[in-house]
A and B are shown apart, each in its own frame.
Chain A
């Protein structure tokens, strides 16, 4: 019996239970991702995405599962972005970060737990995906963004900037511009942040016209609520890019102030 025929047999009211998806993957000797893609292709919703109905069509959820995103930085913003990507159902995530976790990451970095201290951030991401959404394929690269990994990053439909250095952001933005890959930018400090999308312009160069003298030396203080807010705005923009939905943030940016509860347009 074909996978689709089994899916039709197992599903009820166009919903495929998570437990049945796991059984089918084993019985048919295919990945869980393949089962979920086949289900959505037949307008059957995997149970884990049931509450996306009415927001996305089955075809759009399928499109997300077919997508590849490159996440540059898996610390504060990157940890929260990663969590939302795996719950959203972005099928493949190239996770890039050269660092391992230290205790001062515990206040704001979602992937950092006491158990993960001393371990590579990208490996923590792999473990997190396995425990939250084992269908997602994570490509962990414990390296800094550099030409060595350009080939891997070029696979992505969207690149998400969760870096913490202006010089690295310049390099990433130039690469994305040259490769014609949209870049979702986020940055945070204290109660404040910014979010923007570079698609056709040189937005990042405009935002950071020069590299500050203390770049890569000082690490700003930041609250988890700021990180989570800016990361969630980055995810909202990522969804729109992956599904070709319009956004006022294309080649634009906004300033976020949680102390005054404001998201400001420029000027």
Chain B
């Protein structure tokens, strides 16, 4: 299935901003994240089609997955 993955802030460094990617079914949000070499502890928010989702949520064909890091500096 095709999923559009959008990365934000420093997750873009050495990766990409937005990319349409091919994944087997079933694939969870956490599998996409780990496949990108991102530690789950670094995740702030994940959203599918602009709605909050969980790590264990299953992706569907055509989904837009947005991945934001925790940004905590002040």
Whether chains A and B associate is yes
Asked whether any CB of chain A lies closer than 8 Å to the CB of B37, the reply is: no
Query: Once bound together, how far apart are the Cα atoms of A76 and B73, in whole Å?
Result: 9
Given A76-B73, A189-B71, A219-B73, A209:B45 Cβ within 8 A: yes
Query: Once bound together, how far apart are the Cα atoms of A266 and B45, in whole Å?
Result: 10
Asked whether any CB of chain B lies closer than 8 Å to the CB of A33, the reply is: no
- Interface size on A, as a range, is 35 or more
Chain A: CB-nearest residue to B17: A260
What is the size, in residues, of chain B's interface with A at 8 Å between Cβ atoms? 23
Chain A: CB-nearest residue to B6: A267
Contact B64 A267 (CB under 8 A): yes
Contact A222 B12 (CB under 8 A): no
Contact B72 A192 (CB under 8 A): no
Contact B71 A266 (CB under 8 A): no
Asked whether any CB of chain A lies closer than 8 Å to the CB of B59, the reply is: no
Asked whether any CB of chain B lies closer than 8 Å to the CB of A11, the reply is: no
List of B residues within 8 angstroms of A76 by Cβ = 73-74
Interface residues of B in 1-44 (CB under 8 A from A): 6, 8-10, 12, 17, 41-42, 44
Residues of chain B whose beta carbon lies under 8 Å from any beta carbon of chain A = 6, 8-10, 12, 17, 41-42, 44-45, 47, 49-50, 52, 64, 66, 68-74
What are the 10 closest A-B residue pairs judged by CB atoms, nearest first? A267-B50, A192-B9, A164-B74, A220-B73, A187-B71, A188-B73, A189-B73, A162-B74, A267-B66, A189-B71
